[in-house]
Amino acid sequence: MTRLIDPKGLLIGNYKLIYTDYGLLKEHTTFVRLNSNKSQSWHDDNVRAIGMLLDFYDVYGAIDDPFKLFLRFSEVLRNGTINESGHDPIGLYWPPRSIQVQQKTVSHINALSDFLIALNPSHKKINPLRKSTQYEDMLKWAAYCRSKNNSFLGHIKGQISDIGVSRLISVRHSLAPLTQSPKCFPKDKYTDFVTKGLKSKKPFIHLRNWMAVHLMHFAGLRESELCHLWVDDVIGIRDGRTIRANITLYHPEFGIDRFGRKRAKVLASYGLEPRNRHAEKRSTRAGFKQTVVDSATEQPNGYSSKIYFFGEGSDVLFWNLYSGYLNYLAILKPSHPYLFVNEDGSVMTLNNFNRQYRFAIKRIGLVPGKTFGTTPHAHRHSYKQALEDAGLPEKIIQLCLRHHSLRSQDEYGELSSERIYEMMNSAGHNFREHYASSEMLEIIGSL
């Protein structure tokens, strides 16, 4: 990651850039700066794609015609560089790349090439346009219509602009495989999992992992989203004789919390940067998917979403877990605002959590794996399935899942957070019977 400073000494930004034997690749740097609004994964993929092309050019030798060079590069992506005897005549030792990787790599190189042509029209195109086939146009129209119909902002999307043309070099489309429905976590194993599987000699770790699983299973959080929660994102709301948890998920960079603080600015005061901006290889990195703008959070910038617990009392149970966890945090005194931490106060990493999760699965006699519904993401599927089984409207389900794509936009209009809360509680009235037994509450109290 390179920190760019302008001649006046002002920060331009932190970017992944490409250096060659001749120094910084300046045109690529400009291209990256113009795409600063893209996600960290986009920047990682872009640098990887351009770097692969340069590596290939370096070892394969100069080819006068850019198109012929790119044609050969695309063939190498598809076939790899290792021959049947296991030898690689050019020394790259690249395996054949998947269709998805080929498409992504070619797309990034096309984008940079188009940018360079825009800067200097006299340059030869590395991948010129041609008249597209009827089949290619049909696929483009299908993709456009699907994107427009599914998008939350579908009514303001622009018109498709590339019907009738395609690239001379393109990656064939793969047929979508027939897949089974995503596996949910085994319902009859959940209680054993959180009380016995996640059990640790250290109560603090048991509480932390139980909290994490509870948020995925009963609030539909992605495991990466756990890494962006702060301690004060959780608010206790008194409801009669009980206190229930109220949680808001903020964008790790641009979110403005209830105190009016921008997340990135607060992190900078700790000497930290948002975890979605960490380099790909850093263990502390955690991605963040674009979520739907939730008006119920009353955030003017739209960079936050309310978390909706499913099941009457599931938010109360989480508050019990959270309250016990805070006692340990008061002792640890972490030097950052994040909610999920390790024993030394450092931030919890996804690798560490997944390792402990797999161990907990095995402890109760299950096999970790997507096929069996025994991965962290299976809890999100369970959450979605529970909402569907309860007969909740599709718009409510997609709001709860924080999908950016909302198929039903008009039937239910704008819904307040209080109305959604009522519907979730009413639909999940049997939560206490199955998941908040006196035995489970006693276990929480003992931690």
409 falls in which pLDDT band (50, 70, 90)?
very low
Q: Which CATH class is domain 187-446?
A: mainly alpha
Backbone angles phi, psi at 238, to 5 degrees: -70, 130
**Sole residue written with tokens 């790259």:** 92
Write out pLDDT tens, residues 76-124: 999 999 988 889 888 999 999 988 899 899 899 888 888 888 888 877 6
156 falls in which pLDDT band (50, 70, 90)?
very low
Write out pLDDT tens, residues 159-205: 455 545 556 556 655 544 544 567 899 999 999 999 999 999 999 99
Question: What per-residue confidence (pLDDT) applies to 362?
Answer: 96
Taking residue 220's Cβ as centre, other Cβ atoms within 10 Å add up to: 24
Residue 84, SS3 per DSSP: coil
- From CA 106, how far away is CA 234, in angstroms rounded? 43
- From CA 252, how far away is CA 263, in angstroms rounded? 6
Domains of the chain: which residue ranges? 2-127, 129-178, 187-446
Q: Tell me the mean pLDDT in the region 243-254.
A: 93
Question: SS3 letters for 144-196?
Answer: HHHHHHHCCCHHHCCCCCCCCEEECCCCCCCCCCCCCCCCCCCHHHHHHHHHH
**Assigned token pair, 160:** 């498709």
- Given a cut of 50, whether residue 295 has pLDDT beyond it is no
DSSP element (H, E) containing 129: strand 129-131
pTM of the model: 0.68
